[in-house]
């Protein structure tokens, strides 16, 4: 199925591109991934685990940052919370916030950094009026076309529809095989100017979210092609649900509701 997708893109007149991270990302080809010795490698595996024994590094698991401690408009540490309760960690040099596009603004606003009206509406003391926190949220939304097959020629296996023995074999193949099948999902991709879209192919589909009202679930053996808008012009915003750091923030997607017919 993967060679068939690549051949189809070539047949439509698009050009081959074997390095999307090169000088030009336009075209189609195999998707690049973080793979070492035939296995997918996460950031934790590649960087954090090798450094875990350093004396100047402490890794806290099952722990969440609840507040940045601020003194005279300067970050001096963080407050964290876990099953044992709250704990304050002092910073000698700096505090780095790396919670992504949603959790980073949440932590800043919980710490009193944000628009004064929004912070006061949830009972948070304003320490630095910065209305841009949480603003300008945007993402590239995707529409997936899921295709169920009557045969079993595609690589992937539907997690819910497959028998247990097939699931185990498929999982072991993903874990132990060489670099190409070890990616196990969304293998090839294409980037085309129409105006700027990504078409990603997935061998094997799970039928999407069990909560979906529009996608039949579970699907059997098959594949999916996702169309992704790469340069959205609309903008949304991340807002606090409350002053409780355990509650996820609200975020307004940068588009209207999409209904599948």
**Secondary structure (H, E, C), the chain:** CHHHHHHHHHHCCCCECCCCCCCCCCEEEECCCCEECCEECCHHHHHHHHHCCCCCCCCCCCCEEEEEEEECCEEEEEEEEECCEEEEEECCCCCCCCCHHHHHHHHHHHCCEECHHHHHHCCCCCCEECCCCCCCECCCCEEEEEEECCCCCCCCCCCCCCCHHHHHHHHHHHHHCCHHHHCCCCCEEEEECCCCEEEEEEECCCCCCCCCCCCCCCCCCEEEEEEEECCCCCCEEEECCCCCCCCCCEEECCCCCCCCC
Are 153 and 220 contained in the same domain? yes
Please state, in angstroms and rounded to a whole number, the distance separating the CA atoms of residues 149 and 152: 7
Asked, for residue 82, whether it belongs to a domain, the answer is yes
Nearest of 140, 137, 106, 152 to residue 230 by alpha carbon = 140
Are 38 and 91 contained in the same domain? no
Average pLDDT, the chain: 79
Q: Using one digit for the tens of pLDDT, what is the confidence trace for 60-102?
A: 999 999 999 999 999 999 999 999 999 999 999 999 999 999 9
pLDDT at res. 35: 82
Are 77 and 156 contained in the same domain? no
Mean predicted confidence (pLDDT) in 232-240: 87
Are 94 and 157 contained in the same domain? no
227 is written with which tokens?
């169309």
Are 29 and 150 contained in the same domain? yes
pTM above 0.85, yes or no: no
Are 148 and 222 contained in the same domain? yes
- Our CA angle for 13, 17, 22, nearest 5°, is 140
Range of the domain at 117: 61-134
pLDDT at res. 256: 41
Ramachandran angles phi, psi of 168, nearest 5°: -65, -45
CB 207 within 8 A of CB 160: yes
In DSSP terms, 79 is beta-bridged to: 67, 88
Residue finishing a domain among 108, 134, 160: 134
Are 225 and 145 contained in the same domain? yes
Please state, in angstroms and rounded to a whole number, the distance separating the CA atoms of residues 135 and 108: 12
Is the pLDDT confidence value at 105 over 90? yes
Are 84 and 146 contained in the same domain? no
Asked, for residue 218, whether it belongs to a domain, the answer is yes
Q: Using one digit for the tens of pLDDT, what is the confidence trace for 141-183?
A: 788 887 777 766 555 444 444 444 444 444 545 554 444 443 4
Residue finishing a domain among 119, 134, 149: 134
Asked, for residue 239, whether it belongs to a domain, the answer is no
Mean predicted confidence (pLDDT) in 1-7: 85
Residue finishing a domain among 134, 161, 192: 134
Are 155 and 129 contained in the same domain? no
Is the pLDDT confidence value at 209 over 50? no
Question: Could you give the number of structural domains in the chain?
Answer: 2
Asked, for residue 100, whether it belongs to a domain, the answer is yes
């Amino acid at each position: 199925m993967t060679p068939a997708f690549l051949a189809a893109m070539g047949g439509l007149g698009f050009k081959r591109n074997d390095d999307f991270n090169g000088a030009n990302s336009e075209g189609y080809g195999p998707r690049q991934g973080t793979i070492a010795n035939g296995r997918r490698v996460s950031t934790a595996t590649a960087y954090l685990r090798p450094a875990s024994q350093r004396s100047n590094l402490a890794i806290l698991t099952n722990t969440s940052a609840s507040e940045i401690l601020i003194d005279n408009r300067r970050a001096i540490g963080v407050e964290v919370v876990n099953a044992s309760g709250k704990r304050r960690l002092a910073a000698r040099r700096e505090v780095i916030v790396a919670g992504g596009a949603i959790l980073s603004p949440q932590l800043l606003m919980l710490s009193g950094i944000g628009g004064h009206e929004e912070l006061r509406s949830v009972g948070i003391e304003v320490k630095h009026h910065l209305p841009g926190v949480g603003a300008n949220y945007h993402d590239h939304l995707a529409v997936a076309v899921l295709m169920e097959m009557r045969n079993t020629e595609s690589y992937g296996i539907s997690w819910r529809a497959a028998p247990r023995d097939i699931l185990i074999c498929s999982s072991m193949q993903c874990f132990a095989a060489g670099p190409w099948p070890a990616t196990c999902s969304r293998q090839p991709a294409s980037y085309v100017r129409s105006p700027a879209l990504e078409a990603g192919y997935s061998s094997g589909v799970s039928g999407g979210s069990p909560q979906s009202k529009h996608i039949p679930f579970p699907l059997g053996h098959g594949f999916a092609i996702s169309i992704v808008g790469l340069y959205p012009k609309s903008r949304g915003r991340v807002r606090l649900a409350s002053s409780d750091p355990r509650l996820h923030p609200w975020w307004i997607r940068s588009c209207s509701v999409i209904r599948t017919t």
